[in-house]
Amino acid sequence: MDKFTVLTAIAAPLPEANIDTDKIIPARFLKTTKRSGLGVHAFDGMRYNADGSEKPDFVLNREPYRKAGILITHDNLGCGSSREHAPWALLDFGIRCVIAPSFADIFFNNCFKNGILPIRLPRDICDALMDDARLGANGRLTVDLARQVVVRPDGQEIAFEIDPLRKHLLLEGLDDIGQTLQHEGAISTFEAARGQDQPWQTRIVID
């Protein structure tokens, strides 16, 4: 997992509440177990017409938001099913940070596990950041995880809260597996002591 330290990026304003995971990545794209290749289908129903052509009014189909690294929305982002493909799709599109007043719990947790920083901020602040984002390339935001601040284009800093452990894991680029492998030496020692490094022996009993 890539480390998350300081992100300066174009932010895409998406002023909608209750964007569920089926909107983020529709169920028909869940057949894959790979984390790559889903970005083109992120927000598929919102981005494309039935014939596959782009909807020109959707924010991620417009410049400069095609290269957005931050997404700002309203309440309850990621509600609906628990599919981990939702953060996979956002990450593959290029989104490393999502900002909203509130998130669905499972989606919130899945973001951290996949290197995306979800930031909770009050609705009025999210609206102010959306106004910044509407400036396009001139409205880039900076997210400094170590300092726990979002920096607006005018230099104003907005503090945000984050669990210390989750902050550490993002800064170090550690997912669940990476976190476990930090203790590889102790795990190997324990397995050796328990005899788990020996081949399994199977005894078949026939009555």
Q: What is the CATH number of the domain that holds 123?
A: 3.20.19.10
Find where tokens 């598929």 sit: 44
Query: What percentage of the chain exceeds 70 in pLDDT?
Result: 86
Residue 102 belongs to a domain:
yes
**198: pLDDT strictly greater than 60:** no
> What is the pTM for the complete model shown?
0.86
Residue 1 belongs to a domain:
no
- Could you read off the pLDDT of 6-45 as tens digits, one per residue? 999 999 999 999 999 999 999 999 887 777 899 999 999 9
CA dihedral sign, ordered 144, 150, 153, 157:
negative
> By residue range, what is the domain housing residue 105?
6-173
Residue 196 belongs to a domain:
no
Residue 189 belongs to a domain:
no
In the chain, the number of structural domains is 1
Residue 71 belongs to a domain:
yes
**176: pLDDT strictly greater than 80:** no
- Which residues, at least 6 apart from 97, have a Cβ–Cβ distance to it below 8 Å? 4, 7, 9, 69, 70, 71, 116, 117, 118, 119, 143
Residue 33 belongs to a domain:
yes
Residue 201 belongs to a domain:
no
